[in-house]
């Protein structure tokens, strides 16, 4: 079957910089983000554009280009992204962020990732499935008599939060204060956030709170180890001269952040997509064995992490352009996932779609460490909703998105049944 081209949209800007500006404007992109992605891919698939707080990155929107950027050894991830967030380069926020895995280049990244990998092996993660399954049933049971809930706060957010806490060894009763710190840190990487002295103070306080908490947990596990990731890293530390307590704390903060917000977003947005495509939801209810493939399609269709940034450490020729040493390269993952050159009818949700090679977890050395856990949680969470709440409906006028594009997430998703 021949693939129909995506048209030029007459109601959208046609000049590349104007398209990029609208993509990064929470109001300008509302209701038209996917069409803006298509517009930019059509008029300037590889384009250097000024973006507030990100300098003048090269912006790529095609699936093949995104794969090349992620795997090209001269295009790396490092602490320059943290620097672009602004503020005091010696602040607690900046120093801790630069210790996180996603801002450390090889070879140190390779070594630290190897130390953490054991906590996210398929075998380790699959042992969590019965617990995830029991939790989703418990959450549905608790709200079933009410006939309604906010699918974000009452359900999607609570599942990955509980699981990442179990992996790290964080007691659930401690999460209320950690969620406050987490929100401050997350807002810090929001590309639309204006950095003020007050906001900088809050993000430093949040990072100091996180560090003090995990330092206390590290010391507790050093005295009395348990079956959790913090205990494993403390044990590894005995023979790893370059793994400090600060490194363990930074890794734990990253795991906590990445381990719940991103997955919660896919659960909520995935269920919203299915509610907007009742034929696909009916198909999943009739054939629950499709849930694994449906999860991949939902990740492709509306991913949570919409962008990622690499930096050139040498001049790199690409197509008819030259990416210069020091240039930033921005992958718009949401655009790559809707590339018609890779996915026939990319704007159609199809839970039976074959060969779903999406970019939602990244590629290459920085492929998402928790991908297997995220997949398991999405499968169990959405599978249970499809099975147990056949009358679920959503009022689209009450759906609320967060303003960030980096983590493109729902703030509220009120549903009823």
Classify burial at 153, counting beta carbons within 10 Å of its beta carbon; exposed 0-12, middle 13-18, buried 19 or more. middle
Cβ contacts of residue 67 below 8 Å, gap of 6+?
336, 359, 363
Q: Flag whether 263 is in a domain.
A: yes
Query: Nearest-CA neighbor of 302 among 271, 256, 258?
Result: 271
Q: Flag whether 178 is in a domain.
A: yes
Q: How many Cα neighbours within 13 Å face the side chain of 345?
A: 9
Structural domains of the chain, count = 1
Q: Flag whether 131 is in a domain.
A: yes
Residue 211 to residue 116: CA distance in whole angstroms: 18
216 token code pair: 């206390």
Determine the 3-state secondary structure of 107 from DSSP: coil
Q: Flag whether 79 is in a domain.
A: yes
Residue 46 to residue 62: CA distance in whole angstroms: 8
Residue 137 to residue 147: CA distance in whole angstroms: 15
In contact, 135 and 239? CB cutoff 8 Å: no
Which domain range does residue 325 map to?
16-416
Residue 347 to residue 3: CA distance in whole angstroms: 12
Quick one: pLDDT at residue 196? 87
Q: Flag whether 9 is in a domain.
A: no
Quick one: pLDDT at residue 1? 42
Quick one: pLDDT at residue 361? 95
The single-letter DSSP state of residue 9 is P
Residue 404 to residue 396: CA distance in whole angstroms: 19
| Greatest C-alpha distance within the chain | 65
Q: Flag whether 8 is in a domain.
A: no
Determine the 3-state secondary structure of 82 from DSSP: helix
134 token code pair: 């029991």
Quick one: pLDDT at residue 226? 94
In contact, 300 and 337? CB cutoff 8 Å: yes
351 token code pair: 């839970």
10-residue mean pLDDT profile of the chain (417 residues): values are 77 96 93 97 94 86 97 93 88 94 89 81 87 97 97 96 92 89 81 80 95 97 94 90 91 88 96 98 98 98 95 94 95 98 97 97 89 96 97 94 92 97
Helices (H), 144-243: 158-168, 175-188, 197-223, 229-237
Which pairing describes strands 58-60 and 328-332: parallel, antiparallel, or unpaired?
A: parallel
Residue 353 to residue 355: CA distance in whole angstroms: 7
Determine the 3-state secondary structure of 46 from DSSP: strand
pTM of the model: 0.94
168 token code pair: 């790290």
Residue 174 to residue 59: CA distance in whole angstroms: 40
CATH number, residue 81: 1.10.630.10
Q: Cα–Cα distances in Å, from 251 out to 89, 99, 100, 217, 328?
A: 20, 8, 6, 13, 24
Q: Flag whether 2 is in a domain.
A: no
Length, in residues, of the chain? 417
Residue 81 to residue 53: CA distance in whole angstroms: 9
Residue 307 to residue 336: CA distance in whole angstroms: 10
Q: Flag whether 279 is in a domain.
A: yes
Query: Nearest-CA neighbor of 133 among 414, 385, 349?
Result: 385
Secondary structure in 3-state letters for 347-359: CCCCCCCCCCCCC
Q: Which residues pair with 393 in a beta bridge?
A: 416
């Amino acid at each position: 079957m021949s693939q129909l081209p995506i048209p030029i949209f007459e109601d959208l800007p046609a000049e590349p910089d104007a398209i990029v500006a609208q993509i990064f404007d929470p109001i300008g992109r509302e209701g038209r983000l996917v069409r803006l992605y298509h517009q930019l891919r059509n008029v300037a698939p590889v384009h250097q554009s000024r973006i507030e707080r990100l300098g003048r990155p090269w912006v790529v929107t095609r699936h093949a280009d995104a794969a090349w950027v992620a795997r090209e050894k001269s295009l790396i991830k490092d602490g320059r992204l943290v620097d672009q967030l602004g503020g005091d380069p010696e602040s607690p926020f900046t120093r801790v962020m630069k210790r996180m895995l996603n801002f450390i280049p090889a070879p140190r990244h390779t070594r630290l990732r190897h130390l953490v990998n054991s906590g996210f092996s398929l075998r380790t993660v699959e042992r969590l499935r019965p617990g995830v399954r029991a939790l989703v049933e418990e959450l549905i049971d608790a709200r079933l008599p009410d006939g309604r809930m906010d699918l974000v706060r009452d359900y999607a957010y609570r599942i990955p939060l509980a699981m990442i806490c179990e992996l790290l060894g964080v007691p659930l009763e401690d999460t209320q204060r950690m969620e406050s710190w987490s929100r401050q840190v997350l807002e810090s990487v929001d590309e639309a956030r204006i950095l003020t002295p007050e906001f900088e103070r809050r993000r430093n306080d949040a990072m100091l709170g996180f560090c003090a908490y995990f330092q206390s947990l590290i010391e507790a596990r050093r005295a009395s180890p348990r079956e959790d990731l913090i205990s494993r890293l403390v044990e590894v530390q005995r023979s790893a001269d370059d793994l400090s307590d600060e490194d363990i704390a930074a890794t734990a903060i990253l795991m906590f952040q990445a381990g719940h917000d991103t997955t919660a977003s896919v659960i909520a947005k995935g269920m919203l997509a299915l509610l907007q495509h009742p034929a696909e939801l009916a198909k999943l209810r009739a054939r629950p064995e499709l849930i694994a493939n449906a999860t991949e399609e939902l990740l492709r269709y509306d991913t949570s992490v919409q962008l990622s940034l690499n930096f050139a450490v040498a001049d790199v020729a690409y197509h008819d352009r030259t990416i210069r040493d020091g240039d930033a390269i921005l992958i718009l993952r949401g655009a790559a996932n809707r590339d018609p050159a890779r996915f026939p009818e990319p704007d159609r949700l199809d839970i039976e779609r074959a060969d779903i090679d999406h970019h939602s977890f990244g590629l290459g050395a920085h492929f998402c460490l928790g991908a297997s856990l995220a997949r398991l949680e999405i499968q169990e969470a959405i599978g249970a909703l499809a099975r147990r709440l056949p009358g679920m409906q959503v009022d689209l006028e009450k759906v609320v998105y967060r303003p960030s594009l980096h983590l493109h997430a729902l703030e509220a998703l009120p549903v009823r049944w």
